[in-house]
């Protein structure tokens, strides 16, 4: 049986795309082997280019695969492949470069390479692409939650971000295809679907008379689906129509990841983000009105060029007053080719790192106070595999709909089942709980 090994760098969308490429190989009778294996026939490296470090790491992994098995076909895909195909083909041993589109032709290229070993550059301009590339992902290895990609690309061109150049402009997946995939995932036993994309909340911007709220209502009707989560949404994309879904659909998770990036208007403007601090805060107020216990998580970039102590402090105070349930904090990292990389007033690394620490501490305090609110509450958890032993011996754990990670005593048999768990001891990252009851039928009974 021929074999393929994958290595994925970067974000959730890239991991999703790898799963989609694996389906293509699987359909041709391939088995998947570990990337550490020396005997794979094909190595696929799905690269990332979000920072300059992403590029460097991608190159290292490619070289590692070439060394591991010089006879194997080395295929490089993803964002870095899309933006710099020539740079990748210069690495000795690379056979194929495919970017972030035309992946349905991947197997044809592999067949060509099997008969004729001539490097192929299959990357073409992504900025002209207007269609969402349909790739089927009917199941996921080692996941209780299923990811469903509904959107690709972004029209925003924030000054720090290269993504529109590597992923192209925003495209939405046809609703009929999203719904069909949702039915398939539910039949495979998944109870929770995470809607994913590069700019997920931009779903529908390129469609006529159909938007994200319409899609959420259509998903709400999918029988057997218990939870719908949106991986990320911009404050401006939470429209009255979306708020209405939150008010009335019982399947929508009480969790929103709404990137803030900075809590000061001058910085936001220089980042070319399309909201002010006041507009963002007002949106959060309205979401909380619709869903009182909602968890709001966010991304923050610290040390953006020109960020003074005062601007940082404004942001710190603003984040504290919002009360996020978690913040992902990143030091600003220059991305060649973006306007921010050319800005003159870059912030010193030392200052950046001190600010990052301050915000991580703040995030941990906020995580704990959010968990404390739920002590004594009974929450629904869908336990995940404890392969890495993260939950401890004899324990199992997973996420509630409002994104609290709870560990409780239980066996692997509970993985994937809907469990009612009482939160007894709050934690900044993981809280402890007690199993009240299992709500559940076997996944196979749903099929």
Asked if 122 is part of the footprint of ligand SF4 (rule: CB under 6 A), the reply reads no
Kindly state the smallest distance separating residue 163's Cβ from ligand SF4, in Å: 4
Q: Which of residues 355-394 bind ligand SF4 (CB under 6 A)?
A: none
Nearest CB to ligand SF4, comparing residues 339 and 443? 339
Cα(64)–Cα(41) distance, integer angstroms = 15
Q: Which of 158, 169, 195, 252 binds ligand SF4 (CB under 6 A)?
A: 158
DSSP assignment string, 356-376:
HHHHHHHHHHHHHHHHHTTTT
Kindly state the smallest distance separating residue 239's Cβ from ligand SF4, in Å: 17
Q: Helix, strand, coil proportions of the chain in percent (round to 5)?
A: 40, 20, 40
* Phi and psi at residue 442, to the nearest 5°: -65, 145
Asked if 340 is part of the footprint of ligand SF4 (rule: CB under 6 A), the reply reads no
User: Residue-wise over 53-90: b if at least 16 C-beta within 10 A, else e?
Assistant: ebbebbbebbbebbebbeebbbbbbbbbbbbbbeebbe
Binding segment toward ligand SF4, per CB under 6 A, in 151-159, 389-397, 419-427, 437-445: 151-159
Nearest CB to ligand SF4, comparing residues 232 and 386? 232
Kindly state the smallest distance separating residue 305's Cβ from ligand SF4, in Å: 15
Asked if 156 is part of the footprint of ligand SF4 (rule: CB under 6 A), the reply reads yes
Task: Yes or no: say if 215 and 204 are a contact pair by the CB < 8 Å rule.
Answer: yes
| Structure token digits, residue 266 | 């001058």
Cα(79)–Cα(54) distance, integer angstroms = 10
Binding segment toward ligand SF4, per CB under 6 A, in 150-158, 189-197, 213-221, 407-415: 150-158
Asked if 418 is part of the footprint of ligand SF4 (rule: CB under 6 A), the reply reads no
Cα(315)–Cα(214) distance, integer angstroms = 34
Cα(362)–Cα(383) distance, integer angstroms = 28
Task: Yes or no: say if 370 and 323 are a contact pair by the CB < 8 Å rule.
Answer: yes
Q: Which of 140, 157, 210, 217 binds ligand SF4 (CB under 6 A)?
A: 157
Q: Which of 199, 283, 352, 355 binds ligand SF4 (CB under 6 A)?
A: 199
Asked if 48 is part of the footprint of ligand SF4 (rule: CB under 6 A), the reply reads no
Nearest CB to ligand SF4, comparing residues 198 and 423? 198
Task: Yes or no: say if 435 and 419 are a contact pair by the CB < 8 Å rule.
Answer: yes
Kindly state the smallest distance separating residue 353's Cβ from ligand SF4, in Å: 22
Asked if 164 is part of the footprint of ligand SF4 (rule: CB under 6 A), the reply reads yes
Asked if 161 is part of the footprint of ligand SF4 (rule: CB under 6 A), the reply reads yes
Nearest CB to ligand SF4, comparing residues 48 and 158? 158
Asked if 268 is part of the footprint of ligand SF4 (rule: CB under 6 A), the reply reads no
Asked if 260 is part of the footprint of ligand SF4 (rule: CB under 6 A), the reply reads no
> Which residue's entry shows tokens 């659909």?
249
- As to burial, measured by CB atoms within 10 angstroms (0-12 exposed, 13-18 middle, 19+ buried), residue 428 is middle
Asked if 267 is part of the footprint of ligand SF4 (rule: CB under 6 A), the reply reads no
Cα(288)–Cα(259) distance, integer angstroms = 16
Positive or negative torsion for Cα 99, 45, 335, 204: positive
Asked if 154 is part of the footprint of ligand SF4 (rule: CB under 6 A), the reply reads yes
Asked if 198 is part of the footprint of ligand SF4 (rule: CB under 6 A), the reply reads yes
Asked if 163 is part of the footprint of ligand SF4 (rule: CB under 6 A), the reply reads yes
Kindly state the smallest distance separating residue 197's Cβ from ligand SF4, in Å: 10
Positions touching ligand SF4 (CB under 6 A) are: 154, 156-158, 161, 163-164, 198-199
């Amino acid at each position: 049986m021929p074999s393929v090994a994958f290595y994925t760098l970067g974000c959730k969308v890239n991991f999703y795309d790898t799963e989609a490429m694996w389906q293509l190989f699987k359909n041709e009778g391939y088995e998947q082997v570990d990337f550490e294996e020396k005997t794979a026939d094909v190595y696929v490296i799905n690269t990332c280019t979000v920072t300059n470090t992403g590029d460097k790491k991608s190159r290292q992994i490619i070289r590692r695969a070439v060394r591991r098995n010089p006879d194997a076909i080395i295929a490089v895909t993803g964002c870095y492949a899309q933006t710099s195909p020539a740079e990748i083909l210069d690495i000795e041993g690379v056979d194929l470069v495919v970017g972030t589109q035309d992946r349905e032709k991947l197997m044809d290229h592999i067949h060509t390479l099997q008969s004729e070993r001539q490097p192929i550059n299959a990357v073409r301009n992504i900025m002209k692409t207007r269609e969402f590339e349909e790739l089927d992902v009917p199941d996921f290895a080692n996941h209780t939650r299923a990811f469903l990609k509904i959107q690709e690309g972004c029209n925003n061109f924030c000054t720090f971000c290269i993504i529109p150049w590597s992923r192209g402009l925003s495209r939405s997946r046809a609703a009929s295809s999203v719904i069909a995939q949702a039915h398939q995932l539910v039949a495979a036993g998944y109870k929770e679907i995470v809607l994913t994309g590069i700019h997920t909340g931009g779903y529908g911007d390129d469609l006529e008379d159909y938007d994200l709220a319409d899609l959420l209502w259509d998903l709400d009707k999918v029988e057997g689906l218990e939870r719908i989560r949106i991986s990320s949404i911009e404050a401006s994309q939470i429209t009255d129509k979306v708020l209405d879904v939150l008010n009335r659909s019982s399947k929508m998770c009480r969790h929103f990841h709404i990137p803030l990036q900075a809590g000061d208007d001058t910085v936001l403007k220089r980042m070319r983000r399309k909201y002010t601090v006041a507009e963002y805060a007002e949106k959060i107020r309205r979401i909380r009105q619709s869903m009182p216990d909602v968890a709001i998580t966010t991304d923050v970039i610290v040390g953006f060029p020109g960020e003074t102590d005062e601007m940082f402090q404004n942001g710190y105070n603003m984040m504290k007053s919002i009360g996020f349930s978690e913040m992902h904090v990143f030091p600003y990292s220059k991305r060649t080719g973006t306007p921010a990389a050319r800005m003159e007033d870059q912030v010193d690394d030392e200052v950046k790192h001190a600010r990052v620490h301050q915000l991580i501490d703040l995030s941990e305090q906020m995580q704990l106070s959010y968990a404390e609110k739920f002590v004594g509450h009974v929450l629904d958890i869908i336990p995940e595999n404890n392969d890495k032993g993260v939950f401890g011996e004899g324990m199992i754990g997973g996420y509630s709909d409002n994104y609290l990670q709870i560990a409780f005593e239980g066996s692997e048999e509970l993985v994937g089942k809907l469990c009612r768990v009482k939160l007894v001891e709050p934690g900044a990252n993981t809280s402890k709980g007690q199993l009240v009851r299992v709500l559940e039928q076997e996944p196979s009974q749903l099929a």
